[in-house]
Structure formats: C-alpha cells, structure tokens
Amino acid sequence: MKTFPFPPHWIFLAYLVLTFYCLGAAVMNEFVEYQSWADLSPYLSSADFAAWHLATAQYTVPFLTVPAILLSGVLVLLYWHLPPAVPRAALWLAVACHVVFWLSTVLVQWPLEGALSQGSFSPDLMERLLRSDWVRKGLLLVEAPLAIYMAHRALRPANGAEVGWPVGPSRLPVPSQRQPGSLAGAKPISS
C-alpha cells in the first residue's frame, strides 16, 4: 500500500491553520479593500476606479485565493485522513460550506469584480459586492466553530483515558489506560 508523504496529523493541522487564516483574511479584505473601494469610489472616475481595481486585485490572489484553494484541497485530503474520533458528518458539513463558498465566488463575486475591472462601477454594484461577500464570510464563520469542534474531537482522550506520551517522532499521543492519579508508565521530560 502506498503511503502518503505527509502524516495525517499534519493534514488536519493544515486544515485548522488554513481555516482560521482564510477567515481572518476574508474579514480583513472586507474592512481594508472593499470598504476603501466603497469610500473612495465617489472621488474617482469609472476608468480610474477600474485601473485601481486591477492594480490592487493582483495582491489578493496570493493572500486570499491561493490559501482558499489550498484549504479546499486539504479538506478533500481529510476525506482519506480524517482522525477517527471526528464524525464524518462534520467533514461533510465543511465540504458543503466549501461548495457553496466556491459557487458564490465563481457565480457572484468574480462577475461583479469583473464588471468593476471593466469600468462599470456604480454604487449599486459595489453594494451587491459587499452584501454578497458576506455569504462567503458567513460560511467561514460556520466552518470556524466546526473546525474547533473537529479539533476537540480529534485531540480529546478516547473513552476518558489519559493521553500518554507519543510512540515515536511525528506520531500523535496515544491513549493510555493508567489509573487516575497514577504516574505508572509516565516518562520524565528530559532536557
């Protein structure tokens, strides 16, 4: 059987990090980029706004689009490498959030931003972009607590057992069946 180049716990950790990064980046994008467009657009001509939009949009790709694509890819990898304690229903809910996120991005946000890049600015167009982007942020706001729940399930001790020491490098801790208050089997921390 072929082994995957990354240990499963790294895939889950990447999912957690990317989820919260994408949520933070989406909220930052709202308050920095979209609000500045709305605030400055009355002072610019449609052609100037389109040039400004094109110039600034290139910076969002590495900080917003690429991490969102990576997050969706990591989520797909979790289908095969989901920690056993995490219910599949949580994974399917996260996948549903991503499907709606990308549908909204491709069918709503990108066409609206394309119209802005072509000089079709109007306050109504900007308002639709701002409102519709909250669909995507709302989905990330649903996924963030879901990711916390999945992390809680993945990291909590199984069946009330205490978590023992890792069995080797790059391995997750394993549940041990020690008696409460017992230090039997505990390894000292070496400096």
Predicted pLDDT of residue 170: 55
Q: Is residue 181 part of a domain?
A: no
Q: Is residue 58 part of a domain?
A: yes
The residue with tokens 């069918």 is 107
Q: Is residue 1 part of a domain?
A: no
Domain count, the chain: 1
Q: Is residue 167 part of a domain?
A: no
Global pTM reads 0.73
**Dihedral sign (CA 165, 168, 173, 174):** negative
What is the full DSSP assignment across 40-69?
A: HGGGS-HHHHHHHHHHHHHHHIIIIIHHHH
Per-residue pLDDT of the chain (191 residues; tens, 9 = 90+): 456 566 678 899 999 999 999 999 988 888 888 878 777 777 888 888 888 888 887 888 889 899 999 999 999 999 999 888 899 999 999 999 999 999 999 999 999 988 888 888 788 888 888 888 899 999 999 999 999 999 999 887 655 555 555 555 555 555 555 555 555 555 555 54
Predicted pLDDT of residue 145: 95
Give the span between the Cα atoms of 151 and 165, in whole angstroms: 19
Q: Is residue 185 part of a domain?
A: no
Can you give the residue range of the structural domain that contains 20? 8-159
Q: Smallest Cα–Cα separation from 110: which of 128, 84, 97?
A: 128
What ranges make up the beta strands (E) of the chain?
A: 162-166, 173-176
Give the span between the Cα atoms of 124 and 130, in whole angstroms: 10
Q: Is residue 3 part of a domain?
A: no
Q: Is residue 149 part of a domain?
A: yes
Predicted pLDDT of residue 1: 46
Q: Smallest Cα–Cα separation from 140: which of 104, 105, 101?
A: 101
Which residues on neighbouring strands pair with residue 176, listed in sequence order?
162
Q: Is residue 43 part of a domain?
A: yes
